[in-house]
């Protein structure tokens, strides 16, 4: 198969970028999209042109490193697929494919298709954990977790932190990411002690960096793990309750 | 070089407890006076950094990823072992210890393995308390499953994403400490040298991968938790960036490197589909619980799997190993698959795989139950191959997956450089010549949460009142200059081939000569071919771009240069080890029916190699292994 790639090139955050057109030839349908970029990069190196910078690592859809807009869609066509899991059999021979970095105000561009997603770490840092220091844990089976609860928590916990939800959102909002982490913890019995502090801190940190949610729902279709926007409803509920409960609790202390 | 494993005296059950009592402590007010550098934020690194932060030390954690959550631990699928005996099937600390020593083919240290088995129990408690969503029974208790190489169900799992969930647990614990101000997190920064001052590791030199800035950082102690070296094969199940540079540079500064030839080839990976394959994808070993492995009996059978009648299939593992069947350990399963493919019975368009068939389990348990157990793995397989495992058996073939070898460490996980500690896959310590499934996560977390924080305290207590060397010390300047030199050299070589070209060529040599089966002639030729290729690399590599910006090719050039030297050591170690054990199979040493033949009389030791300078052969030091609790016997899984 042969493809024409229009790839966004930008050598740094303060430099003007542009699309460059590259040909990818002799591609097999079993190759992944990132392997096509590898082939293009090898050609570029041969020609003395600096290769395209893009984040990638595990190449099996779990590390969340890779992510790019492919033909305007986060992670490209296909559902529940990270860029590294997108195979060329999805495309037609001769297709022209446009490749851009994630675009969101909170994700500043580093180089070419690489962006800085550290704002997502700031959200986790603000409460996306259960405070239990090493050594302080009770015997594991003392905390029974009903299977349905464990399954629901796991559904949310599957998030790989790639940022596709933010990139797909017209507002550049990070509600799906934040809510997924929050609900993973807030659904579990272990997460109850900090449930409302967590909700308040995580939402407020999120709002420092990201846009607001207006229920477009694009995020859940872009999500390579298929996380449902239901978690956002739960987050909103917890945040509302937090506004009441945290005040009451702090009054008692 | 004197290697002292520092194994405490006494009955094995009491060693760790007594040792912890005998170790010096640092009082809480003094802990914040100590600076500790942790390199790598996978399971071992994140867990160690978080725990050291909780204890009150000043921790700086470096990762070359943009976030700690990307570390390759995240890709582990199947599970984590622990001797909880929740299944009431006869498990115990002693049995997990026994299975691990036996599974490692009697090339691991009993004391370390016993501690690992003991600690496994606390790991599960810790992870559950952190909110790791392990699989549950309907009553709410934790569910277990079985795994290769053992006959009890002791594996805890979170769907097919156990590594992800455990890493996120450790990452979250780490971010909690970042929030608390005890850990400073430095992402997108790669370690390029360890700095040894006055015989102690006192810091590191790192490169900022975004700005290219090279800087020095000093500390009272350095922890390396930088993973394994499976990418020396180019094609492996490791993530693309996984590399040996941190460990290798430590080796060049005096840390002994042990058992380099002990590499694990995982039996259930998706076969390569062509020349541009960039990595291989593992299908969890847990699939072997319900999948049956077979090939057609006839070499020339070109029919599709569903057209081949039962009588014309060879379920070779069930035939050769009736008691363990499809659940034999990884090394045994891998070699068996290689034999079938080498003899021409491979399946698939390139005849480079064997079938892993779920038809019987689907019939017995129903499609829903199989989907519940392996749904995400089936989806992953279908996405990669375009084939649905519910309709067609999977095609699998072995691929490099894990490296048991690594930096030599004593019982305290301290390398032969005082002050340099090594955790997780980067050290050699617990798996001997072969790692059992679901034991990597266990070891990473045991090292990170429980062992390193204790043993580092003992080391640091002796340094109370001292300051680490300043980064203006000559040793730091020398290390920085050597990084700058190497950078300049690569950027100015302007040769003909990319770094990946050389990496692929190296991978072919290592896979052919130091892969699943090794022989003297092949290893000797590898020892000629690898240095020759390295010379080509130094002369003819093409690295574009600049030193002061993000430069993927430059990063790779550093890593591949180190892989060359490491590959040579693997060949040297494999040549020296005139026996077959675990993942190391010397063709000259096999039983009549093709099983590995160990030589306990001559090779019951850890082979730890000392660096003698570039282009020089390393010196071998032997740490003799003694077995007082598990008597070495030929592993039999029949």
Scan residues 400-419 of B and list those with Cβ closer than 8 Å to A.
none
Cβ contact, residue pair A59, B279, below 8 Å = yes
* Alpha carbon distance B216, B205 (integer Å): 4
Give yes or no for B614 touching A (CB within 8 A): no
Give yes or no for B589 touching A (CB within 8 A): no
The alpha carbon of residue A11 and the mean position of all alpha carbons in its chain are separated, in whole angstroms, by: 23
3-state secondary structure B434-473: CCCCCCHHHHHHHHHHHHHHHHHHHHHHCCCCCCCCCCCC
Report the SS3 class of residue A11. Answer: coil
* Alpha carbon distance B424, B468 (integer Å): 25
* Alpha carbon distance A65, A78 (integer Å): 18
B542 closest CB neighbour out of A45, A131, A160: A45
B266-400: CATH, from 3.90.700.10, 3.30.420.40, 1.10.10.10, 3.60.15.10? 3.90.700.10
* Alpha carbon distance B455, B462 (integer Å): 12
* Alpha carbon distance B302, B308 (integer Å): 9
Angle formed at CA B103 by CA B100 and CA B106, multiple of 5 degrees: 90
Scan residues 239-278 of B and list those with Cβ closer than 8 Å to A.
239-241, 273-274, 276-278
User: Across the strands, what pairs with A21?
Assistant: A6
Task: Decide if pLDDT at A253 tops 70.
Answer: no
Give yes or no for A76 touching B (CB within 8 A): no
Closest chain A residue by Cα to residue B383: A85
- Which run of H or E residues covers position B268? strand B263-269
- Closest by CA to B437, choosing from B154, B124, B60, is B154
* Alpha carbon distance B146, B142 (integer Å): 14
Give contacts of B172 with chain A, Cβ < 8 Å.
Answer: 124, 128-130
A58 closest CB neighbour out of B74, B187, B210: B74
- Closest by CA to A235, choosing from A200, A211, A207, is A200
Cβ contact, residue pair A134, B449, below 8 Å = yes
Report the SS3 class of residue B39. Answer: strand
State phi, psi for A9 to the nearest 5 degrees.
Answer: -115, 130
Cβ contact, residue pair A141, B86, below 8 Å = yes
Give yes or no for B180 touching A (CB within 8 A): no
- Closest by CA to B407, choosing from B558, B217, B559, B249, is B249
Instruction: Name the percent of chain A lying above pLDDT 90.
Output: 95
Compute the Cα dihedral for A238, A244, A246, A248 and give only its sign. negative
CATH architecture of residue range(s) B474-604? Up-down Bundle (1.20)
B281 closest CB neighbour out of A50, A60, A81: A60
B168 closest CB neighbour out of A31, A38, A157: A157
Other CB atoms within 10 A of residue B482 CB: 15
Minimal CA separation from A217 to chain B, in Å: 24
| pLDDT band at A232; cut points 50, 70, 90 | very high
Give contacts of B131 with chain A, Cβ < 8 Å.
Answer: 130, 153, 184-185, 188, 190-191
Tokens linked to B266: 């995982």
State phi, psi for A85 to the nearest 5 degrees.
Answer: -100, 5
Residue pair B374/B249 in contact by the 8 Å Cβ criterion: no
Residues 6+ apart with CB under 8 A from B391: none
A126 closest CB neighbour out of B165, B179, B187: B179
Give contacts of A43 with chain B, Cβ < 8 Å.
Answer: none
* Alpha carbon distance B282, B394 (integer Å): 12
* Alpha carbon distance B387, B362 (integer Å): 17
Cβ contact, residue pair A117, B142, below 8 Å = no
Residues 6+ apart with CB under 8 A from A7: A19, A20, A21, A22, A40, A52, A99, A112, A113
Directed axis angle between helix A195-209 and helix A175-186, to 10°? Answer: 170
Give contacts of A80 with chain B, Cβ < 8 Å.
Answer: 379
Cβ contact, residue pair B385, A147, below 8 Å = no
The pLDDT of residue B615 is: 92
Residue pair A139/A206 in contact by the 8 Å Cβ criterion: no
CA distances in angstroms from B91 to A22, A157, B130, B150, B500, listed in the order given: 59, 30, 25, 10, 46
Terminal C-alpha separation, chain A: 68
A141 closest CB neighbour out of B70, B131, B141: B141
Give contacts of B69 with chain A, Cβ < 8 Å.
Answer: 63-64, 121, 161
Residue pair A77/A90 in contact by the 8 Å Cβ criterion: yes
Tokens linked to B538: 């130094």
Residue pair B288/B327 in contact by the 8 Å Cβ criterion: yes
User: Across the strands, what pairs with A8?
Assistant: A19
* Alpha carbon distance A239, A236 (integer Å): 5
Cα radius of gyration (chain A): 21
pTM for the whole structure = 0.96
Give yes or no for B28 touching A (CB within 8 A): no
Give yes or no for B211 touching A (CB within 8 A): no
Compute the Cα dihedral for B425, B428, B433, B435 and give only its sign. negative
* Alpha carbon distance B126, B117 (integer Å): 15
Scan residues 9-28 of A and list those with Cβ closer than 8 Å to B.
11-12, 28
Give yes or no for A231 touching B (CB within 8 A): no
The pLDDT of residue A250 is: 67
Q: What is the mean pLDDT of each run of 10 residues along chain B (638 residues)?
A: 94 97 96 97 98 98 98 94 97 97 95 98 98 97 87 93 97 98 98 98 98 98 98 97 98 98 95 92 89 95 94 96 89 91 94 96 95 87 93 96 97 98 97 94 98 98 97 98 97 96 97 96 98 98 96 98 98 98 95 88 98 97 97 80
Closest chain B residue by Cα to residue A49: B544
Give contacts of A108 with chain B, Cβ < 8 Å.
Answer: none
CA distances in angstroms from B368 to A213, B285, B362, listed in the order given: 36, 20, 8
DSSP states of B564-591: HHHHHHHHHHHHH--S-BTTB-BTTSB-
Cβ contact, residue pair A62, B141, below 8 Å = no
Mutation target among A132, A161, A163 for the B interface, most CBs of B within 10 A: A132
- Report the relative pairing of strands B221-224 and B313-314 from DSSP bridges: unpaired
Scan residues 45-64 of A and list those with Cβ closer than 8 Å to B.
45-46, 48-51, 53, 55-64
Closest chain B residue by Cα to residue A42: B498
* Alpha carbon distance B337, B267 (integer Å): 7
Higher pLDDT, B594 or A77: A77
Residues 6+ apart with CB under 8 A from A37: A52, A54, A99
Cβ burial B552-566 (10 Å sphere, 16+ → b, else e): bbbbbbbbbbbbbbb
Q: What is the count of residue pairs from A and B with beta carbons less than 8 Å apart?
A: 217
The pLDDT of residue B372 is: 85
Minimal CA separation from A218 to chain B, in Å: 22
* Alpha carbon distance B149, B64 (integer Å): 34
DSSP states of A61-78: SSS-----EETTEET-SS
Residues 6+ apart with CB under 8 A from A72: A98, A100
Minimal CA separation from B377 to chain A, in Å: 11
Edge-to-edge strand ranges of the sheet holding B80-81: B80-81, B153-156, B145-146
Scan residues 467-526 of B and list those with Cβ closer than 8 Å to A.
498, 500-501
Angle formed at CA A144 by CA A138 and CA A150, multiple of 5 degrees: 115
Minimal CA separation from A165 to chain B, in Å: 17
Residue pair A53/B550 in contact by the 8 Å Cβ criterion: yes
Cβ contact, residue pair A32, B278, below 8 Å = yes
Minimal CA separation from A60 to chain B, in Å: 7
Minimal CA separation from A162 to chain B, in Å: 10
State phi, psi for B621 to the nearest 5 degrees.
Answer: -120, 140
The pLDDT of residue B592 is: 83
Mutation target among A55, A134, A161, A188 for the B interface, most CBs of B within 10 A: A134
Fold of A3-111: Ubiquitin-like (UB roll) (3.10.20)
Angle formed at CA B633 by CA B630 and CA B638, multiple of 5 degrees: 115
Locate CATH 3.90.700.10 in chain B.
Answer: 266-400
B133 closest CB neighbour out of A63, A89, A153: A153
| pLDDT band at A251; cut points 50, 70, 90 | low
Domain boundaries, chain A: 3-111, 118-252
Residue pair A198/A239 in contact by the 8 Å Cβ criterion: no
CATH architecture of residue range(s) A118-252? Orthogonal Bundle (1.10)
State phi, psi for B426 to the nearest 5 degrees.
Answer: -65, -25
Tokens linked to B379: 């989806």
Locate CATH 1.20.58.100 in chain B.
Answer: 474-604
Residue pair B51/B449 in contact by the 8 Å Cβ criterion: yes
Cβ contact, residue pair B175, A139, below 8 Å = no
* Residue whose pair of structure tokens reads 């490197």 in the numeric block: B257
Give yes or no for B154 touching A (CB within 8 A): no
* Alpha carbon distance B240, B421 (integer Å): 25
* Alpha carbon distance A21, B55 (integer Å): 54
Give contacts of B501 with chain A, Cβ < 8 Å.
Answer: 42
């Amino acid at each position: 198969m042969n493809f024409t790639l229009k790839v966004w090139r930008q050598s740094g955050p303060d430099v003007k970028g542009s699309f460059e057109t590259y040909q990818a030839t002799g591609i097999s349908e079993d190759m992944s999209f990132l392997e096509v970029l590898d082939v293009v990069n090898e050609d570029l190196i041969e020609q003395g042109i600096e290769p395209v910078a893009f984040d990638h690592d595990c190449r099996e859809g779990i590390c969340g490193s890779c992510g790019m807009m492919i033909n305007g869609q986060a992670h490209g066509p296909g559902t529940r697929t990270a860029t590294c899991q997108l195979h060329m059999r999805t495309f037609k021979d001769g297709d022209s494919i446009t490749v851009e970095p994630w675009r969101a105000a909170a994700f500043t561009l580093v180089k070419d298709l690489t962006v800085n997603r550290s704002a997502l770490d700031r959200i986790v840092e603000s409460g996306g954990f259960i405070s239990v220091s090493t050594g302080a844990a009770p015997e594991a089976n003392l905390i029974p977790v009903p299977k349905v609860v464990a399954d629901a928590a796991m559904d949310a916990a599957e998030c790989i932190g790639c940022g596709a939800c933010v990139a797909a959102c017209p507002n550049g909002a990070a509600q799906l990411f934040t809510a997924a982490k929050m609900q993973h913890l807030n659904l579990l019995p272990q997460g109850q002690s900090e449930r409302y502090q967590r909700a308040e801190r995580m939402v407020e940190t999120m709002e420092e960096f990201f846009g607001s949610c207006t229920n477009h729902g694009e995020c859940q279709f872009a999500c390579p793990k298929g996380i449902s926007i239901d978690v956002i409803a739960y987050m909103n509920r917890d945040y509302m309750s937090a506004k009441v409960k945290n005040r009451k609790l702090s009054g008692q202390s | 070089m004197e290697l002292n494993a520092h194994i405490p005296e006494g009955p094995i059950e009491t060693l760790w407890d007594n040792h912890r009592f005998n170790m010096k402590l640092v009082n809480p007010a003094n802990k914040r006076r100590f600076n500790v550098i942790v390199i790598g934020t996978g399971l071992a690194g994140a867990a160690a950094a978080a725990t050291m932060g909780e204890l009150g030390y000043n921790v700086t954690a470096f990762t070359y990823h943009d976030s700690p959550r990307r570390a390759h631990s995240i890709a582990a699928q199947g599970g984590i072992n622990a001797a909880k005996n929740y299944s009431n099937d006869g498990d115990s600390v002693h049995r997990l210890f026994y299975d691990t020593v036996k599974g490692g083919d009697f090339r691991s240290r009993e004391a370390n393995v016993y501690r690992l088995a003991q600690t496994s129990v606390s790991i599960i408690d810790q992870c559950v308390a952190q909110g790791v969503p392990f699989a549950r029974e309907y009553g709410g208790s934790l569910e277990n499953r079985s795994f290769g190489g053992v006959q009890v169900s002791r594996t805890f799992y979170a769907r097919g994403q156990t590594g992800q969930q455990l890493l996120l647990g450790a990452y979250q614990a780490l971010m909690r400490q970042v929030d608390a101000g005890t850990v400073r997190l430095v992402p997108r920064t790669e370690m390029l040298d360890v700095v040894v001052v006055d015989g102690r590791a006192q810091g590191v030199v790192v490169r900022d991968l975004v700005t290219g800035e090279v800087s020095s950082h000093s500390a009272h102690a350095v922890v390396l938790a930088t993973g394994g070296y499976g990418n020396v094969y180019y094609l492996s199940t490791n993530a693309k960036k996984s590399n040996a540079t941190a460990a290798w540079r430590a080796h060049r500064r005096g840390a002994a490197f042990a058992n380099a030839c002990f590499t694990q080839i995982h039996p259930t990976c998706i076969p390569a589909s062509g020349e541009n394959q960039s990595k291989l994808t593992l299908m969890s070993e847990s699939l072997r619980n319900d999948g049956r492995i077979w090939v057609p009996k006839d070499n020339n059978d070109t029919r599709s799997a569903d057209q081949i009648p039962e009588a014309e299939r060879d379920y070779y593992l069930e035939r050769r190993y009736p008691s363990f069947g499809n659940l034999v350990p990884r090394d045994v399963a891998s070699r068996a698959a290689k034999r079938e493919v080498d003899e021409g019975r491979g399946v698939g368009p390139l005849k480079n795989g064997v079938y892993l068939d779920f038809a019987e389990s689907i019939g017995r348990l129903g499609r829903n139950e199989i989907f519940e157990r392996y749904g995400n793995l089936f989806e992953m397989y279908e996405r990669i191959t375009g084939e649905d495992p519910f309709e067609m058996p999977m095609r699998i073939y072995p691929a490099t997956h894990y490296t048991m070898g690594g930096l030599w460490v004593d019982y305290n996980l301290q390398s032969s450089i005082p002050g340099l500690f090594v955790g997780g896959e980067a050290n050699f310590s617990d798996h001997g010549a072969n790692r059992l499934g679901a034991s990597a996560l266990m070891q990473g977390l045991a090292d990170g949460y429980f062992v390193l924080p204790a043993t580092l305290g003992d080391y640091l207590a002796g340094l109370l009142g001292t300051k680490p060397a300043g980064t203006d010390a000559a040793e730091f300047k020398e290390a920085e200059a050597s990084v700058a030199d190497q950078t300049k050299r690569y950027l100015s070589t302007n040769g003909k081939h990319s770094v990946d070209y050389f990496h692929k060529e190296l991978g072919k040599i290592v896979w052919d000569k130091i892969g699943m089966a090794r022989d003297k002639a092949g290893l000797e030729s590898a020892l000629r071919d690898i240095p020759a290729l390295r010379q080509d690399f130094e002369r003819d590599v093409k690295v574009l771009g600049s030193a002061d910006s993000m430069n993927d090719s430059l990063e790779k050039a550093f890593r591949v240069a180190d892989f060359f030297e490491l590959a040579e050591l693997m060949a040297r170690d494999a040549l020296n080890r005139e026996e077959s054990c675990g993942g190391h199979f010397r063709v000259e040493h096999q039983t009549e029916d093709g099983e590995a033949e160990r030589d306990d009389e001559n090779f019951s030791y850890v082979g730890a190699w000392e660096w003698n300078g570039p282009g020089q052969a390393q010196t071998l030091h032997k740490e003799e292994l003694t077995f007082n609790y598990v008597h070495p016997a030929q592993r039999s899984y029949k």
